[in-house]
Amino acid sequence: MMSVENNDQHYDVLVVGAGFAGLYLLHRLRAQGMRVKVFEAGDDVGGTWYWNRYPGARCDVESLEYSFSFSEELQQEWKWSERYAGQPEILRYLQHVADRFDLRRDVLFNTRVARARFSPARNEWTVNTEAGEQYRARYCVMATGNLSKASVPDIPGIESFKGRWFHTSAWPKEPVDFTGLRVGVVGTGSTGIQLVPRVAEQARHLYVFQRTANYCIPLRNGPQDAGIERDVKGRYAAVRKQARESPSGVAGFNVPTQSVLEVRPEEREAAFERRWNWGGIGLTRAFNDVLFNEESNRIASEYVKRKMREVVKDPKVADALTPTYPIGTKRLCADTGYFQAFNRDNVTLVDIRRSPIRAMGPHSVETGEATYEVDALIFATGFDAMTGTLLAIDIGVENGPTLRSLWADGPHAYLGLMVAGLPNLFMVTGPGSPSVLSNVVVSIEQHVEWITNCLAHMQERGLDHIEALADAQQTWGDHVNEVAGRSLLAKASSWYTGANIPGKPRGFIPYMGGVGAFRAHCDEVARNGYQGFALSTARQAQGSPA
């Protein structure tokens, strides 16, 4: 046991993580009069936006929508400088939120949680930090984010590498200067695609090690348009409502009503063209069946491939950069000058699908075909998404199940909020909720409000024990699978299905039914007396007479 009793501290709620979710939880719970402690591994707030400081890091949801809606003053006073904010600006925003609502005093920084145990006898969670401190509370909330446990490939010889190597999500605080260096980037997902053009501007030579070519739509970022800002701020409540009720949590996307197949080719081309020129990841929403019908998807895929190829001068490089899977079945990427970077003399695309990386030497990366001399290597290789961070913490019930045992064959959760068998433990945007398929700030606000309303409901009634019921969890899981199964996404090899992590159980993890429908369902569950959850006093839960 890592802890000692004399630094044992008692709270109502312990929260893990001080990103968007943890900060909002703290704000709401405090307003409800609860004693809260937040644990944060970083030395500041920000979560994803604290860690991912790599060159080019930027959000691909528009700033006016990728922001908190809970405070009218906050959303009116904050001024975004760009249509799509970069990492430094989003981090500044979250720092401002922390200061404005006086949140920092309840956050324990530089503190990583190692273990959490529920005691049925005491009806409370005990949380142990890696530093050996111990905290107790009635409830525990995991606000740990969906994309925070980095996935670093296990390459033979990596320990002998003499240059610096990085994972994009653990980027140093001080800027890294690649001037004059030969640099390798492994990975061409959303992160690699943002990073490559920026590093190409500095490096003497850049090798881009690509396993899968991805679809990218130009982001078309720029300064925030003052007219649009005035318009949105003038009717923010309506914009936010539209986002909450929409499929993806974004008000700016119209909900498509037509199939690709029911319009004439010129109309279809015009619709794609509008989305292409508007920029960003809304292109697959030009029609209602791009993610569901193979022929519709093929047409959309061909459109984007054609546009991408127009940029790349060398036809062989263009071939290698052309995706071979159905568009949208892996996360669509948005770029700023990604394909243009391959027209530079100092950038080489290396196909590691054909010939994988076999080893690293002190100054090199070796594939089956060649040895590439590099001074620095950047892994933009993604995350053990949605479950990795939770499973990294040893979570469980004293003499009972652990999260690792309950999820041995893949994640099971009720509404992404709770796991049957782990009482009084909540997750924010957990498996089986729209989370990563949505504007995640909208999903975070929805989950945080649901959880805090639930705790207020319990407090008012003198209840202190809540569990998700196994049959409700099963029914929800079946629904999540059934909805995903109708789409092309469930068939793809992506981090949505766990396919990017060797040995991870395969299955579609987030809920594809849409943010609006999900919210309506969660609200109904609450209205019906928290259907599918057992709410009680601890005594009742233990079977003692009340």
Binding site for ligand NAP (CB under 6 A): 58-60, 147, 153, 186-192, 194, 211-212, 331, 334, 352, 380-383, 436, 495, 500
Q: Which of 224/381 has CB closer to ligand NAP?
A: 381
Q: How many residues does the structure list for the chain?
A: 546
Q: Which of 235/353 has CB closer to ligand NAP?
A: 353
Q: Which of 211/240 has CB closer to ligand NAP?
A: 211
Q: Which of 25/377 has CB closer to ligand NAP?
A: 377
The nearest distance, CB 377 to ligand NAP, in angstroms, is 12
Q: Which of 419/490 has CB closer to ligand NAP?
A: 490
Look at the block and give the residue holding tokens 């049957």.
Answer: 420
Q: Which of 263/492 has CB closer to ligand NAP?
A: 492
Q: What are the CA-CA distances from residue 273 to residues 284, 309, 322 (Å)?
A: 12, 15, 19
The nearest distance, CB 271 to ligand NAP, in angstroms, is 23
The nearest distance, CB 21 to ligand NAP, in angstroms, is 16
Q: Which of 58/182 has CB closer to ligand NAP?
A: 58
Short-list 40, 48, 50, CA closest to 18: 40
- Neighbouring CB atoms inside 10 A of 306's CB total 11
Is 166 in contact with 337 (CB distance < 8 Å)? no
The nearest distance, CB 192 to ligand NAP, in angstroms, is 6
Is 19 in contact with 443 (CB distance < 8 Å)? no
Please enumerate in sequence order all residues whose Cβ is within 8 A of that of 131, keeping only pairs 6 or more positions apart, or say none.
Answer: 111
The nearest distance, CB 235 to ligand NAP, in angstroms, is 25
The nearest distance, CB 338 to ligand NAP, in angstroms, is 11
Q: Residue type at 305?
A: K
Look at the block and give the residue holding tokens 């961070």.
Answer: 389
The nearest distance, CB 217 to ligand NAP, in angstroms, is 11
Q: Which residues pair with 216 in a beta bridge?
A: 333
Distance CA 219, CA 216 (A): 9
The nearest distance, CB 147 to ligand NAP, in angstroms, is 5
DSSP state of 223: B
DSSP string, 244-306: HHSSSS-TTSPPP-S-GGGS-HHHHHHHHHHHHHH-STTGGGGSSSTTT-HHHHHHHHHHHHH
Q: Which of 60/289 has CB closer to ligand NAP?
A: 60
Q: Are strands 134-142 and 124-129 parallel, antiparallel or unpaired?
A: antiparallel
Is 5 in contact with 31 (CB distance < 8 Å)? no
> Which residue spans within 376-457 are E strands per DSSP?
376-379, 394-397, 425-427
The nearest distance, CB 209 to ligand NAP, in angstroms, is 6
The nearest distance, CB 65 to ligand NAP, in angstroms, is 12
Q: Alpha-carbon Rg of the chain, whole angstroms?
A: 24
DSSP state of 150: B
Q: Which of 69/191 has CB closer to ligand NAP?
A: 191
Q: Which of 140/437 has CB closer to ligand NAP?
A: 437
Is 526 in contact with 518 (CB distance < 8 Å)? no
Residue, CB closest to ligand NAP:
189
